[in-house]
């Protein structure tokens, strides 16, 4: 094991909920629960204010509502979380080429691989700076753990939460691990935990004392040996840079702009089929379908839809791509079309749910609210709590609730003070779905999407 705490583990604090609070000024400091809002929905995450009331990830939504009846209940907005995640991962990659993302909000970084840090002092400085940079870039907080192994770095960031940094000095690992519950160690889920408890082992120290032979007898060779090594704080697992090819995509540029809507639809279906062939050739499946359209004036837009689970089914990709096309104005003609599938490999949301279900009871299917980006039944309009909207007169806001033909919208933006609520008919033509706004105001470099011809790239 290395002799300096140069493995960094970052995990964002209450990630989805913090992003929601940053987006929606009226929710700051309040209990916020993000997850599936349908009858079988489960909690994806809860703000720290809601956690104080007992709400946590993977809990059935109905139970959360009993514990925190006054909390805000919101659907997840994955496109926002992905955008923030990309900003965070970019900052991590500036520290080292060896970055191993574990999920949208979490990654290991090997600081020694780039010479960013050689000792505890420089590692701590790097961690402090990273936390400040994340805050500046995203407006959100993340906690950092630093240690000489992955296992300890992750334990350290857990202890740093929320909004902190913990560095474990090499040599102090065993003393720190000893009194912790066995469940702290990677690979000890509820079942193994119960098994060990029945054998009288509840702490890491007791695991070490039990000895390798006893653990192998209890848990089998591979698991027993691995756990014994972890209990002695021996963890040599390297940080492995993320796998290549996070998306597979195909596109076509047309000599003559296509105007004919049915023809555009046909091209999109063809591209979807070609994309799926590529995906299958690579032995991959993915969860986010992306449609790219470059219009006659070179303005390029992408639309994406995230499915409940990864797919490599041509019919599913085709349908999703066609649905996405519905939301794109192609009058004037298109010169390029593309279809891609991303959310491949170990980066998908399923990992989080798999993780959650190994920690707790199995997570029902409805873990993620059904249509994530695109409403599938356009009539009557289906407004979901938390969703972004734009009103012709009042501007940007979000759906606070809807029912009996009415929808309540709060008009506020990440940079505004808490906003006012107004109620409309669900069919009000002045109200339309909108994209999430960036959490941090960017320099006025990008042209606003207001009237006027978009600039050529």
Active site residues: 106
Name the residue whose CB lies closest to ligand TTP: 356
Q: To the nearest whole angstrom, how small is the minimum distance from the Cβ of residue 152 to Mg ion?
A: 17
Backbone φ and ψ of 380, nearest 5°: -75, 160
The Cα angle at residue 48 between residues 45 and 54, in degrees rounded to 5: 75
Q: Which option in Mg ion, ligand TTP, none does residue 235 bind, with CB closer than 5 to 8 A by kind? A: none
Q: To the nearest whole angstrom, how small is the minimum distance from the Cβ of residue 321 to ligand TTP?
A: 25
Note whether 100 binds Mg ion by CB under 5 A: no
Look up residue 300 and give its two tokens: 């390029």
Are the C-beta atoms of 448 and 441 separated by less than 8 Å? no
- Which residues touch 276 (CB under 8 Å, ≥6 apart)? 312, 313, 314, 317, 341
> Which is it for the CA torsion 39, 41, 43, 49, positive or negative?
negative
Place of tokens 């629960």: 33
Neighbour-count burial of 261, counting CB atoms closer than 10 A to its CB (0-12 exposed, 13-18 middle, 19+ buried)? exposed
Number of residues that bind Mg ion (CB under 5 A): 5
Q: How far is CA 181 from the centre of its chain?
A: 28
The Cα angle at residue 102 between residues 96 and 103, in degrees rounded to 5: 115
Please indicate if the annotation marks 105 as binding a ligand. Answer: yes
Which stretches of the chain bind ligand TTP, using CB under 6 A? 11-16, 44-45, 57-58, 103, 105-106, 161-162, 352-353, 356
Using only C-alpha atoms, the chain has a radius of gyration, in whole angstroms, of 24
Q: Which option in Mg ion, ligand TTP, none does residue 305 bind, with CB closer than 5 to 8 A by kind? A: none
Residue with Cβ nearer ligand TTP (105 or 267): 105
Number of neighbouring beta carbons within 10 Å of residue 282? 12
Residue with Cβ nearer ligand TTP (213 or 361): 361
Burial 160-194 (b: 16+ CB within 10 A, else e): bbeebbbbbebeebeebbbeeebebbeebeeebbe
Residue with Cβ nearer ligand TTP (156 or 210): 156
Q: Which option in Mg ion, ligand TTP, none does residue 161 bind, with CB closer than 5 to 8 A by kind? A: ligand TTP
Look up residue 125 and give its two tokens: 């400085």
Residue with Cβ nearer ligand TTP (103 or 249): 103
**Cis-peptide into 162, omega within 30 deg:** yes
Note whether 11 binds Mg ion by CB under 5 A: yes
Note whether 383 binds Mg ion by CB under 5 A: no
Q: Which option in ligand TTP, Mg ion, none does residue 321 bind, with CB closer than 5 to 8 A by kind? A: none
Q: To the nearest whole angstrom, how small is the minimum distance from the Cβ of residue 142 to ligand TTP?
A: 9
Q: How many residues does the chain have?
A: 457
Backbone φ and ψ of 437, nearest 5°: -90, 150
* Nearest residue to 109 via CA among 160, 164, 146: 146
Q: To the nearest whole angstrom, how small is the minimum distance from the Cβ of residue 10 to ligand TTP?
A: 10
Q: To the nearest whole angstrom, how small is the minimum distance from the Cβ of residue 15 to Mg ion?
A: 5
Note whether 173 binds Mg ion by CB under 5 A: no
Q: Which of 4, 6, 10, 15 binds Mg ion (CB under 5 A)?
A: 15
CA dist 178 and 447 (Å) reads 57
Q: To the nearest whole angstrom, how small is the minimum distance from the Cβ of residue 143 to Mg ion?
A: 8
Q: Which option in ligand TTP, Mg ion, none does residue 126 bind, with CB closer than 5 to 8 A by kind? A: none
Residue with Cβ nearer ligand TTP (105 or 235): 105
Q: Which option in Mg ion, ligand TTP, none does residue 312 bind, with CB closer than 5 to 8 A by kind? A: none
The Cα angle at residue 148 between residues 143 and 150, in degrees rounded to 5: 60
Backbone φ and ψ of 390, nearest 5°: -130, 135
Residue with Cβ nearer ligand TTP (103 or 122): 103
User: CB under 5 A: which stretch of 97-105, 259-267, 376-384, 436-444 binds Mg ion?
Assistant: 97-105
Q: To the nearest whole angstrom, how small is the minimum distance from the Cβ of residue 186 to ligand TTP?
A: 14
CA dist 188 and 224 (Å) reads 11
Q: How far is CA 262 from the centre of its chain?
A: 35
Residue 86: which H helix or E strand, with range?
helix 78-95
User: CB under 5 A: which stretch of 5-13, 24-32, 250-258, 394-402 binds Mg ion?
Assistant: 5-13
Note whether 105 binds Mg ion by CB under 5 A: yes
Q: Which option in ligand TTP, Mg ion, none does residue 45 bind, with CB closer than 5 to 8 A by kind? A: ligand TTP
Note whether 12 binds Mg ion by CB under 5 A: yes
Residue with Cβ nearer ligand TTP (9 or 295): 9
Note whether 106 binds Mg ion by CB under 5 A: yes
Binding site for Mg ion (CB under 5 A): 11-12, 15, 105-106
Annotated binding site for Mg(2+): 11, 105
Annotated binding site: 11, 105
């Amino acid at each position: 094991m290395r002799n300096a705490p140069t493995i960094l583990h970052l995990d964002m604090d209450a990630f989805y909920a913090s992003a929601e609070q940053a987006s929606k000024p009226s929710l700051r400091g309040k209990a916020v629960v993000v997850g599936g809002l349908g009858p079988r929905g489960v909690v994806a995450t809860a703000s720290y204010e809601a956690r104080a009331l007992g709400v946590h990830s993977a809990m059935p939504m109905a139970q959360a509502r009993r514990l925190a009846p006054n909390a805000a209940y919101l659907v997840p907005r994955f496109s926002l979380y992905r955008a923030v995640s990309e900003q965070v991962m970019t900052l991590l990659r500036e520290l080292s080429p060896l970055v191993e993302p574990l999920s949208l909000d979490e990654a290991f970084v090997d600081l020694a691989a780039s010479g960013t840090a050689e000792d505890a002092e420089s590692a701590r400085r790097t961690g402090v700076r990273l936390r400040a940079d994340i805050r500046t870039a995203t407006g959100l907080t993340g906690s950092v753990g630093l240690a000489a192994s992955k296992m300890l770095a992750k334990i350290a960031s857990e202890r740093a939460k929320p909004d902190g940094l913990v560095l474990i000095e090499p040599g102090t690992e065993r003393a720190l691990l000893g009194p912790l519950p066995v469940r702290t160690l990677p690979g000890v889920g509820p079942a193994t935990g119960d098994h060990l408890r029945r054998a009288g082992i509840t702490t890491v120290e007791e695991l070490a004392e039990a000895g390798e032979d006893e653990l192998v007898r209890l848990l089998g060779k591979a698991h027993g040996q691995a756990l014994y090594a972890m209990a002695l704080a021996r963890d040599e697992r390297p940080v492995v840079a993320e796998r290549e090819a996070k998306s597979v995509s195909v596109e076509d540029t047309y000599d003559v702009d296509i105007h004919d809507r049915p023809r555009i639809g046909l091209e999109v279906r063809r591209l979807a089929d070609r994309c799926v062939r590529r995906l299958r050739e690579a032995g991959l499946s993915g969860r986010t379908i992306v449609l790219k359209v470059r219009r006659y004036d070179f303005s390029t837009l992408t639309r994406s839809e995230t499915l409940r689970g990864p797919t490599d089914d041509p019919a599913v990709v085709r349908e999703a791509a066609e649905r996405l096309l519905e939301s794109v104005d192609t009058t004037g003609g298109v010169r390029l079309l593309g279809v891609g599938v991303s959310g491949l490999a170990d980066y998908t949301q399923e990992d989080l749910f798999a993780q959650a279900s190994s920690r707790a009871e199995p997570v029902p299917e409805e873990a993620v609210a059904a249509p994530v980006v695109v409403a599938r039944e356009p009539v009557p309009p289906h407004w979901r709590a938390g969703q972004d909207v734009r009103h012709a007169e009042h501007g940007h806001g979000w759906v606070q609730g809807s029912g009996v033909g009415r929808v309540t919208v709060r008009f506020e933006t990440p940079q505004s003070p808490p906003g006012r609520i107004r109620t409309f008919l669900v069919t009000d033509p002045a109200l339309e779905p909108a994209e999430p706004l960036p959490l941090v105001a960017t320099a006025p470099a990008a042209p606003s999407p207001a009237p006027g011809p978009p600039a050529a790239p």
